[in-house]
Amino acid sequence: MKARSAALQGGLALAGLVAAYTTWQRPKDSVKSESVVVVDATKNSLERVRYEDGVRSVSVEKKDRLMVTLAYLPGKRPVFDAGVALVEVDAGVDGGTVLASAKPAEPTPDRTVFANDRADTLWTKLTPFEGSRALGTLSKEKLDEVGLTNSERKLELQVAGVTRRFTISRPVSGLIGNYAQDEKSGEVFLISSSLFNELDPSSQLLVDRRLHLFKPTEFDAFTVKAGDKMAAFVSTGADIPQTAKIARAATPDKAEEMVKNWHDKIWNRLIVTEVLSQGELPKLGEPKVQMRFDYTQKGSPKGWLELGFDPKGGTWARSENTPSWVSVHQGSEELILEGLKHALGT
């Protein structure tokens, strides 16, 4: 009986140690303890967030609205070779892989564009910047263990003109979450891993791809223009899809179902694939504007949209909510042709 009791007590002690270690490693979402404030920032005092992964950086900065900058670190931009390279491609069932020629993708230029709602949420998460646990200063061995030694990942928060800089842990097998070390004090904090997933500089998660910030219920008239052709329309009942109607301004009681279906595609189905910075033009130059929309509400301007097409460069768009041209999905030039037919009768 004594041996069984001793074994039971030993098992409980071991389970307690495992639970304590697991809790220390576990990210904020799973730890049932109060968070700790790492940087006491507010929405008004936080001015800029910058994250580096060793190759690229992403910055979110507060101006008239939140802006996001995606850039390569100095000396880290890949050297672009416009020549043809050989790559392995799947040859199909039982075919294995074969070598085929392909042009490598050109690295995107550094860009500053409008930030989206996810950036707003990220900004809120950082006001204040919190950690799951405060671990104090750690030994060199422990810093090695949690992936902080020689890590190239950096986080900067500019708060009321003062910059706080942190080293962020690199991925380490068996560890969950990220560790942030204050480069000034040396203190280490356990941080939710989701924060750095959203700050991934190689992604486009924080880029605003919306053509308009206003809703279909926030305009009651629009014009469509292509070359010397122009048509004016009114929109009613947009708050309920079943009652939404578009009619020509000259005959407001006569619904134009074909025009409505086409305009719904313009409004809902244009997929933005690339967003250019202010003043940046597509590689093949300025697209020729094929069609322009102007939206109004009670006679006051609400917004606009221009669609341009280049047989070699595809379809491009710009609006009141884009810093410059944005590319839209392949095949969208058919919407221009559809509009010429249904809206302008050409």
Whole-angstrom Cα distance, residue 16 to residue 290? 70
Rounded to 5 degrees, φ, ψ at 208 are -80, 120
Percentage with pLDDT > 90 across the chain: 74
pTM: 0.80
- Token pair belonging to 305: 């949209």
Residue 7 included in any domain: no
pLDDT of residue 90: 52
- Structurally, how many domains does the chain consist of? 2
pLDDT of residue 26: 45
Looking at 198, 233, 255, the residue that finishes a domain is 198
Greater pLDDT, 315 or 88: 315
Instruction: Grade residue 83 by pLDDT with cuts at 50, 70 and 90.
Output: low
Domain that holds residue 225: 216-342
119-175 pLDDT, tens digit each: 999 999 999 999 999 999 999 999 999 999 999 999 999 999 999 999 999 988 877
Residue 102 included in any domain: yes
Q: Are residues 222 and 190 located together in one domain of the fold?
A: no
Mean pLDDT across 230-239 = 96
Q: If you ran DSSP here, which 8-state letter would residue 231 be given? A: E
Residue 205 included in any domain: no
Mean pLDDT across 101-118 = 84
285-300 pLDDT, tens digit each: 999 999 999 999 999 9
- Token pair belonging to 137: 């200063």
Residue 211 included in any domain: no
Judge whether 229 and 291 are in contact, CB under 8 Å.
Answer: no
